[in-house]
Structure 1
Amino acid sequence: MTTADRAARLANTVLTVAVIPLLHRMQNELDRNGTLRRGTQMMMWAAYATFGVLLTESLARHRDVPTGRRGTTLAGAGMTPFDSPQ
Protein backbone atom coordinates (compact mmCIF):
# COMPACT_ATOMS: atom_id res chain seq x y z
CA MET A 1 0.00 0.00 0.00
CA THR A 2 1.40 3.36 -1.01
CA THR A 3 1.51 6.49 1.10
CA ALA A 4 -1.20 8.02 -1.10
CA ASP A 5 -3.41 4.96 -0.48
CA ARG A 6 -2.90 5.26 3.27
CA ALA A 7 -3.65 8.98 3.19
CA ALA A 8 -6.84 8.39 1.18
CA ARG A 9 -7.99 5.70 3.59
CA LEU A 10 -7.29 7.92 6.57
CA ALA A 11 -9.15 10.84 4.99
CA ASN A 12 -12.10 8.57 4.18
CA THR A 13 -12.18 7.21 7.74
CA VAL A 14 -12.03 10.68 9.29
CA LEU A 15 -14.77 11.94 6.98
CA THR A 16 -16.96 8.93 7.73
CA VAL A 17 -16.62 9.46 11.49
CA ALA A 18 -17.32 13.17 11.07
CA VAL A 19 -20.48 12.48 9.03
CA ILE A 20 -22.14 10.30 11.68
CA PRO A 21 -23.33 13.32 13.76
CA LEU A 22 -24.53 14.96 10.54
CA LEU A 23 -26.66 11.91 9.73
CA HIS A 24 -28.21 12.05 13.21
CA ARG A 25 -28.87 15.77 12.79
CA MET A 26 -30.50 15.14 9.41
CA GLN A 27 -32.74 12.42 10.86
CA ASN A 28 -33.78 14.62 13.80
CA GLU A 29 -34.64 17.56 11.55
CA LEU A 30 -36.60 15.38 9.16
CA ASP A 31 -38.52 13.78 12.04
CA ARG A 32 -39.33 17.15 13.63
CA ASN A 33 -39.84 19.43 10.64
CA GLY A 34 -40.17 17.18 7.61
CA THR A 35 -37.33 19.12 5.98
CA LEU A 36 -33.68 20.03 6.48
CA ARG A 37 -32.46 23.46 7.54
CA ARG A 38 -30.26 25.36 5.07
CA GLY A 39 -27.09 24.85 7.17
CA THR A 40 -27.69 21.12 7.37
CA GLN A 41 -28.22 20.96 3.61
CA MET A 42 -24.94 22.78 3.02
CA MET A 43 -23.08 20.42 5.36
CA MET A 44 -24.65 17.43 3.60
CA TRP A 45 -23.62 18.66 0.15
CA ALA A 46 -20.10 19.42 1.41
CA ALA A 47 -19.81 15.87 2.74
CA TYR A 48 -21.06 14.41 -0.56
CA ALA A 49 -18.64 16.57 -2.53
CA THR A 50 -15.74 15.50 -0.32
CA PHE A 51 -16.65 11.85 -0.73
CA GLY A 52 -16.87 12.46 -4.49
CA VAL A 53 -13.40 13.99 -4.58
CA LEU A 54 -11.97 11.09 -2.58
CA LEU A 55 -13.73 8.58 -4.83
CA THR A 56 -12.57 10.26 -8.03
CA GLU A 57 -8.99 10.51 -6.74
CA SER A 58 -9.06 6.87 -5.71
CA LEU A 59 -10.48 5.73 -9.05
CA ALA A 60 -7.89 7.79 -10.92
CA ARG A 61 -5.15 5.67 -9.37
CA HIS A 62 -6.72 2.52 -10.82
CA ARG A 63 -6.41 2.73 -14.60
CA ASP A 64 -8.90 -0.08 -15.28
CA VAL A 65 -11.81 1.95 -13.84
CA PRO A 66 -13.32 4.70 -16.02
CA THR A 67 -13.01 8.17 -14.50
CA GLY A 68 -13.48 11.74 -15.61
CA ARG A 69 -16.91 12.79 -16.79
CA ARG A 70 -18.48 9.40 -16.16
CA GLY A 71 -17.26 9.37 -12.54
CA THR A 72 -18.46 12.92 -11.99
CA THR A 73 -21.81 12.13 -13.61
CA LEU A 74 -22.20 9.04 -11.45
CA ALA A 75 -21.44 11.01 -8.27
CA GLY A 76 -23.89 13.74 -9.29
CA ALA A 77 -26.60 11.23 -10.15
CA GLY A 78 -26.20 9.66 -6.74
CA MET A 79 -26.72 13.02 -5.02
CA THR A 80 -29.67 14.20 -7.13
CA PRO A 81 -32.36 12.28 -5.19
CA PHE A 82 -31.39 14.28 -2.08
CA ASP A 83 -31.97 17.65 -3.73
CA SER A 84 -34.88 19.49 -2.17
CA PRO A 85 -37.11 21.91 -4.08
CA GLN A 86 -36.83 25.55 -3.04
Structure 2
Amino acid sequence: MAKRLHLVFGGELVDPSRTEFKDVDAIDIVGMFPDYDSAHSAWKDAAQRTVDNAHMRYFIAHIHRLRDEATPASATEELG
Protein backbone atom coordinates (compact mmCIF):
# COMPACT_ATOMS: atom_id res chain seq x y z
CA MET A 1 0.00 0.00 0.00
CA ALA A 2 1.34 3.43 -0.96
CA LYS A 3 2.08 5.94 1.78
CA ARG A 4 -0.10 9.03 1.86
CA LEU A 5 2.41 11.71 2.78
CA HIS A 6 1.48 14.67 4.95
CA LEU A 7 3.66 17.72 5.69
CA VAL A 8 3.28 19.55 9.00
CA PHE A 9 4.53 23.14 9.02
CA GLY A 10 3.73 26.45 10.63
CA GLY A 11 4.83 29.92 11.49
CA GLU A 12 3.82 33.34 12.61
CA LEU A 13 1.02 34.94 10.60
CA VAL A 14 0.67 38.61 9.68
CA ASP A 15 -2.94 38.49 10.87
CA PRO A 16 -4.50 35.54 12.74
CA SER A 17 -7.60 35.71 10.51
CA ARG A 18 -5.52 35.08 7.35
CA THR A 19 -2.93 32.52 6.27
CA GLU A 20 -0.17 34.92 5.18
CA PHE A 21 3.12 34.20 6.93
CA LYS A 22 4.99 37.11 8.52
CA ASP A 23 8.41 35.68 7.54
CA VAL A 24 8.51 32.74 5.12
CA ASP A 25 12.19 32.20 5.94
CA ALA A 26 11.17 31.44 9.53
CA ILE A 27 8.57 28.76 8.70
CA ASP A 28 8.89 25.80 11.04
CA ILE A 29 8.95 22.55 9.06
CA VAL A 30 7.87 19.98 11.65
CA GLY A 31 8.23 17.07 9.25
CA MET A 32 6.81 14.71 6.68
CA PHE A 33 4.58 11.89 7.94
CA PRO A 34 3.36 8.68 6.27
CA ASP A 35 -0.26 8.97 7.43
CA TYR A 36 -2.77 11.50 8.71
CA ASP A 37 -2.82 10.20 12.28
CA SER A 38 0.90 10.70 12.83
CA ALA A 39 0.76 14.10 11.08
CA HIS A 40 -2.15 15.16 13.27
CA SER A 41 -0.24 14.13 16.40
CA ALA A 42 2.79 16.19 15.31
CA TRP A 43 0.53 19.13 14.40
CA LYS A 44 -1.13 19.00 17.80
CA ASP A 45 2.23 18.92 19.62
CA ALA A 46 3.54 21.89 17.63
CA ALA A 47 0.34 23.88 18.08
CA GLN A 48 0.31 23.26 21.84
CA ARG A 49 3.92 24.47 22.16
CA THR A 50 2.91 27.83 20.66
CA VAL A 51 -0.55 28.21 22.19
CA ASP A 52 0.42 31.49 23.90
CA ASN A 53 1.11 33.21 20.56
CA ALA A 54 -2.18 33.97 18.79
CA HIS A 55 -0.31 34.65 15.53
CA MET A 56 1.30 31.19 15.35
CA ARG A 57 -0.47 28.58 13.24
CA TYR A 58 0.42 25.08 12.16
CA PHE A 59 -1.00 23.29 9.14
CA ILE A 60 -1.18 19.81 7.67
CA ALA A 61 -0.59 19.70 3.92
CA HIS A 62 -1.86 16.58 2.17
CA ILE A 63 1.16 16.03 -0.09
CA HIS A 64 -0.35 12.89 -1.59
CA ARG A 65 -3.09 15.06 -3.11
CA LEU A 66 -0.51 17.02 -5.12
CA ARG A 67 0.58 13.96 -7.07
CA ASP A 68 -1.22 11.66 -9.45
CA GLU A 69 0.62 8.36 -9.19
CA ALA A 70 -0.96 7.16 -12.46
CA THR A 71 0.86 9.79 -14.53
CA PRO A 72 4.64 10.16 -14.96
CA ALA A 73 4.74 13.90 -14.06
CA SER A 74 3.69 15.24 -10.69
CA ALA A 75 0.84 17.70 -10.42
CA THR A 76 3.26 20.36 -9.15
CA GLU A 77 5.07 20.33 -12.50
CA GLU A 78 1.80 20.72 -14.36
CA LEU A 79 0.77 23.70 -12.21
CA GLY A 80 4.10 25.51 -12.64
TM-score, length-normalised on structure 1? Answer: 0.31
Relative contact order, higher structure (CA 8 A, sep 6+):
2
Larger radius of gyration: 1
TM-score, length-normalised on structure 2? Answer: 0.32
- Relative to its length, the structure with more strand (as a share) is 2
